Amino acid sequence: MNLIFKNAVIIDANSPFNKQAVDIKVEGGIIKNIGTNLEADGFDVIELDNLHISNGWFDSSVSLGEPGYEDRETLANGLNVAAKSGFTDVALQPTGNPIADKQADIAFLVNKSLHAATAVHPIGALTKNSEGKDIAELYDMKNSGAVAFGDYNKSLSDAAILKIALQYVQDFDGLVIAYSQDDKIKGKGVVHEGEVSTKLGLKGIPTLAEELQIVRNLYLLEYTGGKLHIPTISTAKSVQLIKEAKAKGLNVTCSVAVHHLIFTDDVLTDFDSRYKVAPPLRPETERQALITGVLDGTIDIITSDHNPIDIENKKLEFDLAKDGTTGFESAFGALQTVLPLEVIVEKLTAGKAIFGLAETTITEGAVASFSLFNPNAEWVFTKKDILSKSKNSAFLKQEMKGRAYGIYNRGKLVLRS
């Protein structure tokens, strides 16, 4: 597919054409020419209102249903939604049934998604069946395409397992993901412990549950060396702890979920389970600290933490509902209500280097891997905007600024209709 993107503003700090409105010719998946008023000469022309183009966005935490929970989401539809939401690459959590803890499981996910425009980069389970007892087949999974290892939203109570994993993966430059939450302190909590939880009569999860586990995990990293990624942090103290660890030279990175940058626990007053997420939504002081952490570079990645949940497991009493919200379709539009465009693009692409993926830049001769978007579109997120099979979005009725058109990746153009 040979294309020319007309009058597109490039957002790429490493490109000589950054912030310039240009035409981009793509031939055979390679950027052939960048300039103004280029002749189409047989190329298919792509013209979109206020078109902006950046390097392809990478989502570092994505859950889909397949295999095992296709009623929640299939690989095919999930990747199509990702593409139409602007994501060229996703790191897929090991949340299927069976859990991806073996070489064959990783190979299945890679092979099943080979022809999708959005590329899948599986995360292998750190422990067998994500039960936290025995380390899984990490090296074999790496050889099949796993880009990191972690047990999604499960915290290791056994510190020795994390210690051994951090030491072991150094032999093949592996990345360990450590979701950080002390389950004993969390107890039966379902929301942030504070004023809102008291008013609602819901059991609370103190910030201490996250912060104590981060302290432990950082001490282990300091002892072992290696690379550690702490996903979806949610408290001001967590930001400070990671900032201090980076200053000491530890190889630690972290992410924050879009919903933690947008919402506070004040939205819980109606007991709406769409807002039940892990870690829980926190007060405004924590939200502001997370935004500051993004802006000062402490937080490396922003993720949608896309997690489709079927209605039978989500539309329940708050205590019983599963954690999680879909996030692909709303990610970009929501982020632009709280962050500058250049920062958003940087945080949606920085994860490629952290997860060991090939990085690109928008320049002649480079591989074309683009996210296409209009940063000025203003709209309200409604049910018709949910393309995912499951409809558990926390962002319904939210005002949005900016909208993804789609992607060009792997020689394929996918646009939202």
Residues with a catalytic annotation lie at 305
CA–chain centroid gap for 186, Å, is 24
CA gap 182, 180 in Å, rounded: 7
Q: Are the C-beta atoms of 356 and 173 separated by less than 8 Å?
A: yes
With vertex at residue 262, the alpha carbon angle to CA 190 and CA 286, rounded to the nearest 5 degrees, is 65
b/e per residue 151-164 (b: at least 16 CB within 10 A): bbbbbbeeeebbbe
Q: Give the tokens for residue 66.
A: 């397949």
Of 259, 251, 268, nearest in space to 233 by CA:
259
Q: Is 105 helix (H, G, I), strand (E, B) or coil?
A: helix
Q: Are the C-beta atoms of 28 and 323 separated by less than 8 Å?
A: no
| Residue 172 burial class via C-beta count within 10 angstroms: exposed 0-12, middle 13-18, buried 19 and up | exposed
CA gap 64, 74 in Å, rounded: 7
Quick count: other Cβ atoms within 10 Å of Cβ 224? 18
Residue type, 69: Y
CA gap 172, 353 in Å, rounded: 16
Outline where 248-283 has alpha helix (H): 258-262
Q: Is 119 helix (H, G, I), strand (E, B) or coil?
A: strand
Of 128, 125, 134, nearest in space to 164 by CA:
134
What is 21-70 written as a DSSP string?
EEEEEEETTEEEEEESS---TTPEEE--TT-EEEEPEEEEEE---TTT-T
Of 414, 276, 402, nearest in space to 343 by CA:
402
> Which residues touch 107 (CB under 8 Å, ≥6 apart)?
144, 145
> Which residues touch 221 (CB under 8 Å, ≥6 apart)?
166, 228, 245, 250, 251, 252
